[in-house]
Amino acid sequence: MMNYLSLAAMIITYSLIATRGITKIPPWASMFFGGVLMIVLGVLTPEKALSAINLDVILFLITIFTFASSLEVSGFLKYIAYAIISKFKRPDKVLFSVLVTSGLLSNLVTNDGLSASWTPVILEMKKEMKIDEKPFLYALAFGVTIGSVMLPTGNPQNLLIALDSGIKNPFLVFIEYLSIPTLLNLVLTYPILRLMFRKYLPNLTFNPDKIEIENKRLAYSSFILLLITIVLFFTLSYVGIDILLGSLITSSILLLISPERRDIVRRIDWSTIIFFIGLFIFTEGILCGGVIAEMSKFLPPPTSVLLIFISSILLSQILSNVPLVAIYIPIMFEYHSTSIADWLALAAGSTIAGNLTLIGAASNIIISEASENRGGKGFGFFEFIAYSLPVLLLNSFILYLFLLLEAP
């Protein structure tokens, strides 16, 4: 039976997020309030709420944000912004570079990690080019969502599927079936972005003044340790060990050897960490309150690629994609929906769901919050849908077509 207090808390939370343009309350504050509301209303006990917080995810984000912060403190990200503008010179070409490069790199440090490290780059580019950052923030959001479909290391939900589904050689399987539609989506999304943001992209050529990395010692040590982290991610995931161990080791070494450790910790995106803590408690509340069980009656069972794909896109807007996949994996086994196509449909659907609403993927929240924390613009809830819907429709069609035709 559904707990109506849980439903009330859900409605209040999503209403706050949807009306942030009026209330000026950021999504992280609304989601944290929603989680606390679940406790206050008695839907969850404090002990149940604390146990719902996934410390693996929280610690993983802190370690990745540590690298993003150190690269920003060192001036390395500012240098990257200069290098991109110097090479491409025109706003429309810079837009294409942000979209494709972020999509490909997201598979190395996850879409969340890249969102944290590249948002400051976008804002530095804005300063240099003296134009609105909005199209480039959206290019980053869409790029990391589209690109991270391709590999298990692209995002946490893909990694969950790779480790728990029983797929043999998941890295090879993901690349074989999802690399071509992912690359197509990245390329074909560009003309849509250029059309939607044409008024923000003046026909100008930029030649920025050359800059140097401010703190080369910190930049090089951070970059080398980040490369080691990436290698550890692939190695540990291959042998079946939690990849968190890799980033915990390297990030702790970075803080140990860096005199700038206080600045690094101060600039970590703590508001996103608070968002995730609230999200885990909030999700547990709507699960224990029976809201999801009630809603699932109106959704089709996961008995085909199309139904899995559609359900994962829709439910990700309520649960966010990582909790959705964690819940959905045992359901897939229950329905014997365990073919490669079924698992890839869950991975692709839950990931591309980030291109529907602001809360469909944590990377959207990370970009919005990281921008606002540095004096830039954030994403509005309904504004995001207006820009993302055409992109989602294109991406979904291409991914589903390839899954239908190619995956066994």
Q: How far is it, in rounded angstroms, from Cα 71 to Cα 360?
A: 27
Burial of residue 19 (number of CB atoms within 10 Å: 0-12, 13-18, 19+): middle
CB burial string 262-282: b at 16+ within 10 A, e below: eebeebbbebbbbbbbbbbbb
Q: What value does the mean pLDDT take over residues 351-371?
A: 91
Angle CA(24)–CA(27)–CA(29) in degrees, nearest 5?
A: 85
Instruction: Provide the percentage of residues in the chain whose pLDDT is more than 70.
Output: 99
Q: Where exactly are the structural domains of the chain?
A: 76-212+290-406
Which pLDDT score, from 0 to 100, does residue 407 have?
A: 66
Q: How far is it, in rounded angstroms, from Cα 7 to Cα 18?
A: 16
Q: Which residues does 135 contact at the CB level (< 8 Å), separation at least 6?
A: 91, 95, 193, 196, 197, 200, 201
Categorize the per-residue pLDDT at 408 as very low, low, confident or very high, splitting at 50, 70 and 90: low
pLDDT tens figures, 42-87: 999 999 999 999 888 888 889 988 998 998 899 888 888 888 888 8
Single-letter code of the amino acid located at 214? E
Q: What value does the mean pLDDT take over residues 165-183?
A: 89
Q: What value does the mean pLDDT take over residues 310-325?
A: 85
Give me the helix-helix angle, 4-18 and 27-40, nearest 10°.
170
CB burial string 312-349: b at 16+ within 10 A, e below: bbbbbbbbbbbbbbbebbeebeeeebeebbbbbbbbbb
Q: Which residues does 403 contact at the CB level (< 8 Å), separation at least 6?
A: 177, 305, 309, 341, 344, 345, 348
Lookup: tokens for 370: 């990281």
Q: Which residue has the tokens 């790779």?
A: 162
Quick one: CA dihedral 40, 41, 46, 51, positive or negative? negative
Which pLDDT score, from 0 to 100, does residue 86 have?
A: 86
Which pLDDT score, from 0 to 100, does residue 2 have?
A: 60
pLDDT tens figures, 84-139: 888 888 999 999 999 999 999 888 777 888 888 889 889 988 888 888 999 999 99
Whether 238 shows a pLDDT value over 80: the answer reads: no
What is the reported pTM?
0.84
> 13 with 34: CB under 8 angstroms?
yes
DSSP string, 107-118: HHHHHHHHHHHH
Q: Which residue has the higher pLDDT, 256 or 207?
A: 256
pLDDT tens figures, 22-46: 888 988 999 999 999 999 999 999 9
Which pLDDT score, from 0 to 100, does residue 1 have?
A: 54
